[in-house]
Amino acid sequence: MKDKFDVSISVNIVQQDSTFMYNYELNNDSTSDQSIWYWLVFSEAEIFDISSPVGWKNYTGINPNRYSYSSTSREYRIAPDSTLKNFSFMSHSLPTIQQYFMEGWEQIILDPGNEPDSVENESFFDVAKQGLTIFPRPNSDITNIQDFTDTLQTFRRRSCEELGWITNKGICNSLDVKLRNVERHLERNKPKQAGNVLNAFLNELSAQRGKHITEEGYALLYYNAEYLQQRIGEMD
């Protein structure tokens, strides 16, 4: 039986020197029919100083590359029309887009005649709610400058066209033009000019943060662009 709830995840990332604090807030929509009791992310990134809300426990490290939280009892599940904060951890890794899985608890009361024929062979991944959020990327995932610039452009495109993290088409186009110019300057071995354009890219992200760019879109693009700027500076 498919899980019957609608969830949204808000992510706030704070940089502290070379470390990032990732803080998550889960909202179970008022239209949901189930409480949320479990969520899971697969990643090879290294995280530490993991914190859980009261009544929840993290199971990081039990299975390789598997990070999960679950409620410890019924009273702590995330009921419909409620929000739970303070899922957090630290990481040295830059943010990326990552898939998550969540599971609801209570079974749905079906109308007569709508019962499923069978629930046999339904795995967790067949029925769990799936979505995309921000999560640390594996450090080994960071490649050369050109590839990283392409990755940043992919993040911009997905933030604009798929994820709703940038909500203004004009800003999407402006950021696109700037990244194309960064790529053009790098191809011509002009790191100083590329760095100047990237600085304008960062300034635009800061100016639109909380307006037409969500915290997720800001963190994803800003911290990765800042890293790219550092790498370009090493070329001078």
Tens of pLDDT, residues 78-110: 999 999 999 999 999 999 999 999 998 855 443
Kind and range of the H or E run holding 27: strand 19-28
- Is beta strand 56-58 parallel, antiparallel or unpaired with respect to 95-104? unpaired
Mean pLDDT of the chain: 89
CA angle 87/93/209 to nearest 5° reads 70
- For the four alpha carbons of 199, 201, 204 and 209, in that order, the dihedral sign comes to negative
Q: For 188, phi and psi rounded to 5 degrees?
A: -95, 10
pLDDT at 132 over 90: yes
Q: What is the pTM of this model?
A: 0.89
End-to-end CA distance of the chain: 58
Q: What is the CATH number of domain 7-140?
A: 2.60.40.290
Topology alike, domains 7-140 and 143-233: no
- Cα 123 to Cα 107: distance, rounded to the nearest angstrom: 16
Q: What is the CATH number of domain 143-233?
A: 1.20.1440
Place of tokens 């033009």: 177
| Domain range annotation of the chain | 7-140, 143-233
- Cα 34 to Cα 226: distance, rounded to the nearest angstrom: 40
Confidence of residue 15 (pLDDT cuts 50, 70, 90): very high
Contacts of 212 (CB under 8 A, 6+ apart): 166, 167, 168, 171
